[in-house]
Amino acid sequence: MAELATIARPYAEALFRVAKSGNLAAWSELVSEMAQVAGNPEVLAFVSNPKLTDAQIIDTFVSLIKSPVSAEARNFIGALVENGRLVALPEVGVQFLALKNAAEGAADAHITSAFELSDAQVKELVATLEKKFGRKLVPAVTVDNSLIGGVRVTVGDEVLDTSVRAKLQKMHTALVA
């Protein structure tokens, strides 16, 4: 949804500038939590109620966030509510994380494994992948047993698929051709 990304970009950049001057890790957690709350369908239905005032929406939204909300964060939420942009908060969170990763020289690595990986296995895999991709990686691991064996890694627009399923598909293509 390009329009939502376009709307969210200036908010994410402004929030990132504020976060850089403070504790970036704490801001990152808060933005992630705010994005999750804003993405909830019940919350979206609530904030779109025309009978509610902006103050009621802000107070209710802030009460749904478990982390402490600073004055800057409350002002940010207020700006989103006043401009009718609270629905863009999940996209703001995505873009904020991308800005944070770029500033730290890192990237998200989506690792899909055929089997559950131990912490030691994830550390070893991430160390190998960081050498291959040439940057610090922040792993997110999921399990998909349809891979049969191996892993599938996505970093940005790059995909490294060493799964048994991918190898079988390559063999099938070669035999059919």
pLDDT digits (tens, 9 = 90+) for 79-89: 999 999 999 99
Neighbour tally for 29: CB within 10 Å: 12
| Distance, CA of 162 to chain centre | 24
d(Cα 166, Cα 158) in Å, to the nearest integer?
A: 15
Residue 94 scores a pLDDT above 70: yes
45 Cβ neighbours under 8 A, 6+ residues apart:
none
Pairing of strands 106-113, 158-161: unpaired
d(Cα 141, Cα 122) in Å, to the nearest integer?
A: 8
Q: Which whole number is the average pLDDT over 108-134? A: 94
| pLDDT tens sequence across 4-56 | 889 999 999 999 999 999 899 899 999 999 999 999 999 999 999 999 999 99
Question: Of the candidates 152, 3, 14, which has an alpha carbon nearest to the alpha carbon of residue 87?
Answer: 3
Question: Of the candidates 83, 96, 74, 73, which has an alpha carbon nearest to the alpha carbon of residue 5?
Answer: 96
| pLDDT tens sequence across 42-65 | 999 999 999 999 999 999 999 999
**Using an 8 Å Cβ cutoff, are 142 and 116 in contact?**
no
**Using an 8 Å Cβ cutoff, are 176 and 150 in contact?**
no
Residue 157 scores a pLDDT above 90: no
Q: Output the CA–CA distances (angstroms, integers) from residue 122 to 98, 107, 129, in the order listed.
A: 22, 16, 10
